[in-house]
Homo-oligomer: A and B are copies of this chain.
Amino acid sequence: MKKKSRFLQTPIEPFVVEEGLSADALLARMERISFQGRNLATAHRIWQKMLQDDVTIFLGMAGALSAGGLRMIVAYLIANRYVDVLVSTGANLYHDLHETRGRRHYVGSTHADDAALAHDRIDRVYDTYASEEEFIDNDNWVAKFAASLDKRPYTSREFLHLLGGHLWDTTGQDGILTAAYRAKVPIFCPAIADSSIGMGLSQARQHVPGAGYIDIIGDIVESANIVIRRPRTASVVLGGGTPKNFINQASVQAEFYSDQVGGHSYALQIVTDVPHYGGASGSSLEEAQSWGKLSVDSDKVSVQADATIALPILTTALAASARSIVAERRMPIFTLEGTMTIDGQPVPCNRFEEVNEPAV
């Protein structure tokens, strides 16, 4: 009998429909189908592995995920420490703040008359609406808070921790910023100047000269120092954008100052952009290996899917499959007032910690 090719090892197992399957059971049945379904099931498995391993997990989020109804998922991941560090666009934090302050986004239509919306001062995000007046009130709220701070530069990380605290104190409501404040999870926002939070900060200057300074370069130093302190890392990316690159940059930058850093050990991305136009958002995880952003033996998967489909399933599945794993995690412990600390050691924003000894 003819020998089978070495390429034909693991048969595809067709998905069998069964009433009542939970999200984790669904993903378990999708592990041996093909294409993005398989990739989503693999993402579930890799996230479990991250949680079992002793790694610091960075979560990046770009795209209108907060406005689009995913902010409580991210808050859940933070509160329950499925992730350790958040890197976000400003818009996601702003839309989170909007809802934590008791305002809402609304179900809208993609076939809206945008001139009519403009007349009513309704802002549209694809199929979702929000009130511009409520947004302006948020801006003022952020501006007022920023104006109340010391006249010194704050990293976005420190500012967002304080903002989260202020939000928790005034609302007592769950959300991304408040969950991160309470769980002492740092949030970096490298493109804060390109968001309504940045607009609020800029408006603080109208009230108090010299207010609203963000030391965005200090964020680079802090984030790299986290990796220098704990060189084994994982990257979970939703939607690409600046968070994706910033997480990779932390690793690359850390490697300049520490021999022990060698790229993320795990990487999982859920993206809708594609690689073939050369942009970073859609770039492949293989390409990231050439840069040393990921280690060449990292466990990795890229899922081409809208996060509004992929994330509800994935996190619901993890809530069941990873509950006991998370309970036993050896996660990093941060303090976030003034100079950040990790596991009791300071993480400065004004110089990189240099580690030249060989890895043990």
A: residues with CB less than 8 A from B are: 2, 5-23, 26, 29-30, 32-38, 40, 62-64, 67-73, 76, 91, 99, 104-108, 110-112, 114-118, 120-129, 131-133, 136, 153, 190-195, 198-199, 201-203, 205-206, 209-210, 212-221, 224, 239, 241-242, 245-246, 249, 252-253, 256, 272-281, 283, 286-287, 289-292, 296, 304-313, 315-316, 319-320, 323, 350-352
Contacts and interface: CB of A to CB of B under 8 A. Distances in A.
A16 B253 CA distance: 34
Nearest to A34: B68
Which 10 interchain pairs have the tightest Cβ spacing? Answer: A33-B69, A37-B308, A34-B68, A11-B104, A193-B216, A117-B290, A36-B306, A191-B191, A14-B72, A202-B220
Contacts of A253: 199, 202
Nearest to A239: B279
A19 B319 contact: yes
Contact of A68 (B12, B72, B199, B241): B12
Contacts of A291: 118, 123-124, 132
A19 to B, nearest CB: 4
A62 B279 contact: yes
A201 to B, nearest CB: 5
Copies in the complex: 4
Contacts of A106: 7-12
A265 to B, nearest CB: 15
A222 to B, nearest CB: 10
Nearest to A352: B206
Contact of A205 (B249, B313, B350): B350
A209 B290 contact: no
B68 A308 contact: no
5 contacts: A14-B71, A33-B69, A38-B69, A193-B220, A239-B279
